[in-house]
Structure 1
Amino acid sequence: MDDGVRTIEIFGTDDMRFAVAEAGEGLATEGMSKGYMILTAIEAAPGEELRITLNTESMLPATAMSHNWALLALGTDTDGFARASITARDNGYISPDYADQVIAHTAMLGAGQTDTITFTVPSEPGEYDYICSFPGHYAGGMVGKLIVQ
């Protein structure tokens, strides 16, 4: 899709990491996970349109290993969001108490599933957390930063 929107394809892996198949402009990577480069940060300009495609690569059933990508507003209590979301299974593990602090998120995806979202990067510069809110994944390190500058 060549509509001028930057597209980032992210893989959620069984070892609870966000990863990419190849390095790209504005992507910070560190180490490897299941043959992919671990994604630690995405750099973007204020107001830029971003398209995120999340793919879950897993050998486990969805009840044991699913992933989403949730971008939180600047200043959100990320620990609190993750804790509250653990009990929000019926809402895709996105806590309704924090819904107003979620800028964008994919669906919760089991093995072989894909979801694509498009959103406008916030206008305020800063480091915004993105996490997987499936139980245990944030604590396990499935987190990164959207760096707006």
Structure 2
Amino acid sequence: LYDTTNGKFGPFEGQMFIGDQGHSKIMRVFMEKVNGVYQGASFLFREGFSSGILRMIWGSDSSMFVGMTSRGWASTGKAPYGLQRLEWTGKVPFEIKTMKALDDGFELEFTEPVNKKLASDVTSYQMNSFTYKYHNDYGSPITEEQAVMVHKAEVSPDGLSVKLTLHGMRLGFIHELKAPNLSSITGRKLLHDTGYYTLNEVPGGVLKSPQMTGVVKSGKTIVQPKRVTKMPADWNNKSDQKLMIGTKPGLKFDVEEVQVKRGAKVELTFNNNDDMMHNLVITQKGKESVDKVGQMALMLGLDGPDYNYVPDTDLVLYHTAIMQPETAEKIYVKMPEEPGEYWIVCTFPGHSSVMRAKLIVN
């Protein structure tokens, strides 16, 4: 949905709003035409809608009506369908308004003057570039991830823009920008401090950003001790119980509740018979624990695939790898000695709020 409201919906006239059905949120997209090619940057705009977003339309008062459903494909918003209205309060948020490509970096424009001391400090920014595999398998890990060095940050006299001179830009790659430390001259933090620019062209057609070597981060080897795929030696080749858990359409496990004895040695097979990627994570007792693990998994960002979307926290007891459709993995779980209501959850982004089952330890 293009912003055609002439400023009645905020400072983003001419930009696009794109709904995300699975994650129940709206992204904002700034586009520009470089050497005849459209490209640009996306930023989070609003999240927390009641169901999966399929369509937006402008009302006569320049508010946005959002039509939603989770029929046929589950969403993080748990309602089966919905219609919500999004209005601008009239207050301009502190945001990165535009992100424009240069031949040696990017120019960021803000919705209000930025704190010049912070904005001129190159450590206020973190940048990476990466891409995805294009193949017939479901989804893709982050590939060819590489650090991008912010060499210089020059703030305009009015404080409304900053030019970032970069080393390590690459044509044909997505460039991730994070600026969590920036604030406006009034002390406000960025409402959304992360953007993603897909760079295919640069003005003039010649990339002048010096290239970097020896910084590619693909092929990480992460040791995850809570992913136990071999039977422990002290089990003496015998488990107390065997469990198999699969999936059902609509972001669901094929069980809603599992009961086990405390201290039991369980051979657990997770069979991902769905058409999308999932993992299986066992968390500590309490809904707060499983909620927090889901949020921590989202915060892994680009490192998520390397960690199987499982955060390194004591709230996680055991977990599988992230599993492709029609694959399975067996893990060995020593159940807690303390009885109570634990949780089984999928922590793939967008799944944790709905794809859960109770693990009752008796």
* TM-score normalised by the chain length of structure 1: 0.73
Amino acid in the other structure paired with 2:341 = E
Contact 2:278–2:347 at 8 Å: present in 1 too? Answer: yes
Amino acid at match of 1:78: V
1:53-92 equivalence runs, <5 A:
53-59=269-275, 65-75=276-286, 77-88=289-300, 89=304, 90-92=306-308
Counterpart of 2:317?
103
1:116 matched to which residue of 2?
A: 330
How many Å separate the matches in 2 of 1:16 and 1:146? Answer: 18
| Distance (Å, rounded) in 1 between the aligned partners of 2:291 and 2:299 | 14
Alpha-carbon deviation of 1:94? 0.7
Give the residue type in structure 1 aligned to 2:277. S
Deviation at residue 127 of structure 1 after TM alignment: 0.3
Q: Are 1:11 and 2:246 counterparts?
A: yes
1:13 and 1:56 in contact (8 A); partners too = no
Identity of aligned residues (%): 28
> Which residue identity does 1:42 align to in structure 2?
V
Match of 2:345 in 1: 131
Q: Are 2:358 and 1:145 aligned?
A: yes
Given residue 118 of structure 1, which amino acid in structure 2 is its aligned partner?
A: Y
Counterpart in the other structure of 1:24: none
Alpha-carbon distance between aligned partners in 2 of 1:4 and 1:84, rounded to the nearest angstrom: 32
**Cα displacement string for residues 10-40 of structure 1 (whole angstroms, at most 9, x for unaligned residues):** 1124421111xxxxxxxxxxxxxxxxxxx11
Q: Give the match for residue 256 of structure 2.
A: 40
Q: What corresponds to 2:226 in structure 1?
A: none
Normalised by the length of structure 2, the TM-score is 0.32
Is contact 2:289–2:315 with CA below 8 Å preserved after alignment? no
Which aligned runs of 4 or more in structure 1 are off by greater than 4 angstroms? none
Aligned partners of 1:13, 1:136: CA distance in 2, in Å?
Answer: 16
1:52 shift after superposition: 1.1
> How far apart in 1 are the matches of 2:243 and 2:290?
23
When Rg is computed on C-alpha atoms for both structures, the one with the higher figure is 2
Render the CA deviation track for 1:29-55: whole Å, top value 9, x for unaligned: xxxxxxxxxx11111111111111111
If asked which structure has higher relative contact order (CA below 8 Å, sep 6+), I would say: 1
Alpha-carbon distance between aligned partners in 2 of 1:124 and 1:116, rounded to the nearest angstrom: 24
Check conservation: 1:50, 1:118, Cα contact below 8 A: yes
Where do 5+ consecutive residues of structure 1 fail to align?
Answer: 20-38, 60-64
- Partner amino acid, structure 1, of 2:311: S
Aligned residues: 121
Q: How far does the alpha carbon of each residue in 1:57-88 deviate from its partner, in whole angstroms, 9 at most, with x for none?
A: 233xxxxx211111112245221210110243
* Distance (whole Å) between structure 1 residues aligned to residue 337 and residue 251 of structure 2: 30
